[in-house]
Structure 1
Amino acid sequence: MTISERPVQSRQDYDGRSPFPGAHEHPAASRTQVGLTGAIVVLPFIALVIAILLAWGRGIAIADLLLAAALYVVTGFGVTVGFHRLLTHGSFTTRPWLRVVLGVAGSMTFQGNVIDWVATHRRHHAFTDRPGDPHSPYRYGTSLRGQLRGLAHAHLGWMFADEPTSTPRYAPDLLADPAMVRLARAFPALCAASLALPFLTGWAISGTLYGGLTGLLWAGLVRVALLQHVTWSVNSLCHVIGSRPYRTRRHDRSTNLWPLALLSFGESWHNGHHSDPTCARHGMGRGQIDPSAGLIRLFERLCWATDVRWPDPERLERRRVDVARKARAPAGD
């Protein structure tokens, strides 16, 4: 669990526009890591093609769609409420059993084990959009070519690089938690369960192996792919496209991107999150749908969650960007 991290090449004089130091010296990951990551990325698309071909002339079974939606919601909340708002940022505390349940659900998304996920995300916040950020779309600068390459890096490319994040440095609390260590070790088994569950459920509902296969395709692999790309879009698109109503740290270009709000369970209100990372609600404005915050509110009412950090109106107002002043500000501020 202790992974050595390459020295972070950071510099105080970074101007917010140039490529990161050493950006083009991208160490390649091991063949095993590249192969596993490639399989996780490619196989769901192959599954989608197969699923469409099988559905041609037959349609898609309602049971498959309902099962896919149910697993998308459960595992999606495992990432947004469990991995992110609870374990990474400590936006609330919860009972030990619920902490484990959310960790299990998040682990079934094929996004990495819980300790590595948390460590990587904390590192992202420590170096947002400047040297040291593991998946910034500004890694290669702000030129058109650099931006396009940076978007590819932020969305997928960073997972193929040999730039590990130190778990002892960024997630010592989880390494000291026996339940989280066991959960991290169980990650491969939980990924297998994430695919076995829709296969067995589809088989049980339909009574046929064909029903199990379509359940595996739609509620297993296609569901995993959709959730992964929504999550990765928060890393990439939500630092390039959208609005920035709140002030963040220097060089931090996190944005609010409303079209992804529902699919991401509120994670795409990314500027709101980066302006106040430990807050349990990311959608700070009126009408900003944040299902993850709604679930945390439910946990609070059931007395399963305590010490919830809800938005402070006065602090929000202080963080709000003065649009006229922003328009006069020099580039990179």
Structure 2
Amino acid sequence: MLTVLEPEGLYSDTAIEQAILGPGVRILQGNAKSSLAELPDEMLAEVDGLMTLRMAVPAEQLARFPKLKAVVRMGVGYDRVDRAACAARGILVANLPDYGTQEVAEFAVLLAVALRRGLTLYHDSQRGPAPAPWAVMPSAIVRRQEVQTFGILGLGRIGSAAALRAKAFGYKVVFFDPYQPNGWDRALGISRARTLEALLEQSDVLSIHCPLTRTTRGLVDEAALRRLPKGAVVVNTARGPILDIEALERCLRDGHLAGAGLDVIPVEPPVEPIPSLLRAYRAQEEWTRGRLIITPHIAFHSPEAWQDIRVKGVETMRDVLVEGKRTNVIPPESD
């Protein structure tokens, strides 16, 4: 009999998992809150398949799973799993590339529109000390959508969905993704930038949708941000370490960038030392008002998305562990 472990104790029962995996699979639930290290060796010794949502799977913890054959990351990003250590032992790693697509795409575009139409500017102004200005507030952040270019970095499922939504708002949409084949831009009715630099130089809004890999970590650094047109807005709903948050703060403070919307930051949840940008936002420093939105990695959230996480996660585990398929398996040689 195979054994599948869900270490975080996410659900009150395992009825859905058992129905999908079948009678030949035993399902264990742990109660770990932050780390696999919280679980006993005797539990991990029996595990053939591991399903994780928030929990990291580092090499030192993988060594505690002598029978492990498959890890399913119950989300799109797979940077929390040590894939090199898995590959060395022949452990397959899979993700859920098709959950939460609509939610994250909508959230990215809504962050941009809320900033660019002044929603946050006027919301913040009316919450300030009286008398609040009951009038138009001139600001570089407010622009008509149709005169702007919406730049998308990474045109996977979420990036493609964001492209269609931004296009519906009237933006001219341009993307850069060296891994997408030719023709994908024509299928979506958008334009392709041949280089990252070309994308940046024309993006009034830059929306980040690439995965966190060796090549994308720190990709949007200060030099990249300075290539954006003056008064641009940056949105990140992908992974925090792709964007240099300290450089972002400098570009916001000196006025090169008009605003930013972040659903992700480099370390989540934030720990000391708290990034100075987040500290300024929490303190409601005047320069952040109307220019900055920070949310706690919740762009994916809806009841429907949570159900997708559960069902698609266990379906992927069934395919890979029980049926020997390659559903959503990430090649070990990929970035």
Normalised TM-score (structure 1):
0.24
More strand by share: 2
More helix by share: 1
Q: Which has the higher contact order (CA 8 A, sep 6+)?
A: 1
